[in-house]
Amino acid sequence: DTAVSQTPKYLVTQMGNDKSIKCEQNLGHDTMYWYKQDSKKFLKIMFSYNNKELIINETVPNRFSPKSPDKAHLNLHINSLELGDSAVYFCASSQDGWSYTFGSGTRLTVV
């Protein structure tokens, strides 16, 4: 069974559209995260969500919003997509901040 699963794996969409990326973890972890990997392969944290507490990286545009229907899910919703949003987005989870399990990534291409 996949521990952290993201869907879709690939997403191509036009500028201005709204899209969501789903993430689910079956590890029972308390904290989930979204990371953005840019074209230079640099990973930056976007959000972390722990026990209904959301911590946002202040550099993330408010067009990005995480939504957590329950502890096992942290979805990423993006409004009014821009070309610069093209990247690979990784979901991750952790129980204690000691080890992190990452999803396989979602490659978003905005055209």
Partner 1 sequence: AQKVTQAQTEISVVEKEDVTLDCVYETRDTTYYLFWYKQPPSGELVFLIRRNSFDEQNEISGRYSWNFQKSTSSFNFTITASQVVDSAVYFCALSGDNYGQNFVFGPGTRLSVLP
Where along the sequence are the contacts to partner 1 (CB under 8 A)?
31, 33, 35, 40-45, 48, 50, 55, 88, 90, 92, 94, 96-105, 107
Residue 34 tokens read as 């979204």
Instruction: Kindly tell me which of 48 and 75 has the beta carbon lying closer to partner 1.
Output: 48
Q: Say if strands 43-50 and 53-56 run parallel, antiparallel, or are unpaired.
A: antiparallel
CB 102 within 8 A of CB 4: yes
Residue 25 CB, shortest distance to partner 1, in Å, is: 14
CB 30 within 8 A of CB 71: yes
Instruction: Kindly tell me which of 10 and 15 has the beta carbon lying closer to partner 1.
Output: 10
Instruction: Kindly tell me which of 65 and 105 has the beta carbon lying closer to partner 1.
Output: 105
Residue 16 CB, shortest distance to partner 1, in Å, is: 27
Neighbours of 63 (CB within 10 A): 13
Residue 99 CB, shortest distance to partner 1, in Å, is: 6
Nearest to 105 by CA among 38, 59, 48: 38
